[in-house]
């Protein structure tokens, strides 16, 4: 199927992360369409905006923006009208809903979501913890974790941990290795939510084979053996069932989907312990 391309201009008074996330989520719905992104971050002056408008004129396409400065926003909308290109404020419809419900407008602060507030430092702390506790490291303070992930090799433990850390959750992950006992500290944990990650044996063999092909590291012969891999999966499921640990099957889940499911489990876990959910 032939792919079609179009120019996508993203104009933001901050980093542009919101525009990137929203536009890519929509574009993902179109299999045969791909955007050529033009990102203009930190547009906070008329001269910066005019440069973006000049580029839109040279390569017309869809224009999305997040500009809290009304004068800049109005100038962009007017320019796009003159150029006959679609232009849309991504945050304005949501802001209108909040304004109507809360009865007052918000403060017009460009990049306010990136201010160094408690949430920001909480994320930094979570990332530091998670990186120090990747792949079974530093087992002596797992009690300080919010979430601990268990799973056999290549069940997306590390990327899921990092994603959760970016959401502000201290996450440790521990590999389940055949004939290697888990750290005893795990079985004494009280506060952290322990979650088992599993995937189908077929997918696991395929993923491991890719790693084997692209790595110079030597692996045990059973690493990609279908029978041995299936036994690993079966044993991990038995382990999780024995201790009553919840299980997330990542076979057909993206990292984001798996993390969302884990966060829901975490909230239920905190409620069961009679603890309030940490603000994220």
Binding-site sequence positions: 151-158
Name 173's bridge partners. 149
Q: CA–CA separation, 200 vs 249, rounded Å?
A: 8
Find the helix or strand (DSSP H, E) in which 5 lies.
strand 4-12
Query: In this structure, what are the phi and psi dihedrals at residue 172, rounded to the nearest 5 degrees?
Result: -105, 150
Say which residues have a Cβ less than 8 Å from residue 278's Cβ, sequence separation at least 6: 122, 146, 168, 169, 270
**Residues flagged as binding site for ADP:** 151-158
- Concatenating the DSSP letter of every residue in 227-253 gives HHHHHHHHHHHHHHHHHT--EEE-TT-
Query: In this structure, what are the phi and psi dihedrals at residue 270, rounded to the nearest 5 degrees?
Result: -65, -40
Q: CA–CA separation, 61 vs 37, rounded Å?
A: 10
Say which residues have a Cβ less than 8 Å from residue 147's Cβ, sequence separation at least 6: 164, 169, 170, 171, 172, 192, 193, 194, 195, 262, 266
Q: Answer for the pair 221, 176: CB distance below 8 angstroms, yes or no.
A: no
Q: CA–CA separation, 196 vs 181, rounded Å?
A: 16
Q: CA–CA separation, 187 vs 147, rounded Å?
A: 14
Count H helices and E strands in the chain, helices first. 9, 8
Mapped onto helix, strand or coil, the DSSP state of residue 280 is coil
């Amino acid at each position: 199927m032939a792919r079609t391309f179009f120019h996508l201009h993203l104009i933001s008074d901050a980093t542009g992360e919101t525009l990137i996330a929203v536009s890519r989520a929509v574009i993902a719905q179109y299999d045969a369409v791909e955007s050529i992104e033009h990102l203009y971050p930190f547009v906070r002056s008329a001269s910066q905006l005019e440069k973006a408008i000049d580029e839109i004129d040279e390569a017309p396409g869809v224009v999305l923006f997040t500009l809290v400065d009304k004068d800049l926003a109005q100038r962009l909308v007017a320019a796009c009208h003159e150029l006959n290109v679609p232009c849309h404020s991504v945050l304005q419809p949501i802001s209108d809903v909040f304004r109507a419900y809360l009865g007052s407008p918000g403060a017009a602060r460009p990049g306010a979501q990136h201010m160094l507030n408690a949430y920001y430092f909480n994320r930094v702390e979570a990332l530091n913890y998670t990186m120090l506790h990747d792949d079974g490291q530093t087992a002596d303070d797992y009690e300080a974790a919010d979430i601990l992930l268990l799973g056999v090799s290549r069940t997306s433990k590390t990327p899921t941990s990092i994603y959760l850390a970016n959401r502000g959750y201290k996450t440790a992950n521990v590999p389940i290795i055949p004939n290697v006992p888990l750290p005893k500290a795990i079985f004494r944990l009280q506060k952290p939510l322990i979650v088992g990650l599993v995937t189908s044996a077929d997918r696991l063999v395929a993923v491991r084979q890719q790693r084997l092909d692209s790595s110079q590291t030597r692996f045990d012969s059973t690493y990609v053996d279908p029978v041995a891999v299936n036994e690993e999966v079966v044993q991990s499921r038995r382990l999780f069932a024995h201790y009553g640990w919840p299980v997330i099957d990542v076979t057909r889940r993206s990292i984001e989907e798996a993390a969302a499911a884990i966060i829901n489990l975490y909230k239920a876990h905190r409620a069961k312990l009679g603890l309030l959910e940490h603000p994220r």
